[in-house]
Amino acid sequence: MSKRVSVIIPCYNAGHTIGRTLESVFAQDYPDVELVVVDDGSTDDSKSIIYQWMERFEERSWCLKYVHQENQGPGAAISLGLKHITGAYLTLLDADDVFLPGSIRKRAEFLDTHPDHAGVRSNGWAERNGERQLFINTEEEKAITDLFTTISFGRTNNWSGTYMVRTDILFGFYPDRNIYPSRFGQNFQILLPVAYKRKFGYIDEPLMVYYLQVKSHSQAGSPEKQYELSSRNAEGYRDIYMHILDDLVSDPQEHQYYVNIFNSRFYRGLMERAALYNKPDDLTAGYRQLCATGWATLDDRITYYRKKNRAVVFCLRLVRKTKSLLGRR
Instruction: Give the residue extent of every domain in the chain.
Output: 5-214, 217-296, 302-329
pLDDT of residue 327: 65
Helix, strand or coil for residue 59?
helix
Is-contact 91 35, C-beta < 8 A? no
pTM of the model: 0.91
pLDDT-derived band at 292, boundaries 50, 70, 90: very high
pLDDT of residue 220: 58
pLDDT of residue 320: 80
Helix, strand or coil for residue 70?
coil
CA 308 to chain CA centroid, nearest Å: 34
Q: Which residues pair with 34 in a beta bridge?
A: 6, 63
Distance CA 49, CA 55 (A): 12
Q: What is the CATH number of domain 5-214?
A: 3.90.550.10
Is-contact 14 98, C-beta < 8 A? no
Q: Considering the chain, what percentage of its residues have pLDDT values greater than 70?
A: 96
- Residue 100 DSSP symbol: P
Has residue 278 got a pLDDT over 60?
yes
Distance CA 271, CA 283 (A): 5
Has residue 24 got a pLDDT over 60?
yes
pLDDT of residue 318: 80
Is-contact 187 159, C-beta < 8 A? yes
CA angle 136, 163, 20 (to 5 degrees): 95
Is-contact 109 189, C-beta < 8 A? no
Centre a 10 Å sphere on the Cβ of residue 260 and count the other Cβ atoms it contains. 15
pLDDT of residue 306: 86
**pLDDT 10s digits, 129-164:** 989 999 999 999 999 999 999 999 999 999 999 999
Distance CA 64, CA 88 (A): 16
Distance CA 22, CA 25 (A): 5
Q: Which residues pair with 123 in a beta bridge?
A: 206
pLDDT of residue 270: 96
193-201 average pLDDT score? 98
24-43 average pLDDT score? 97
Mean pLDDT of the chain: 92
64-93 average pLDDT score? 96
Distance CA 207, CA 30 (A): 14
**pLDDT 10s digits, 199-241:** 999 999 999 999 986 444 445 578 999 999 999 999 999 999 9
Roughly what angle, to the nearest 10 degrees, separates helices 252-276 and 280-293?
160
C-alpha dihedral (39, 40, 43, 49), degrees to nearest 10 = -20
Is-contact 13 41, C-beta < 8 A? no
Q: Which among 109, 85, 81 is positioned nearest to 95, based on CA atoms?
A: 81
Q: Which among 199, 30, 205 is positioned nearest to 119, based on CA atoms?
A: 199
Q: Which amino acid type is present at position 208?
A: M
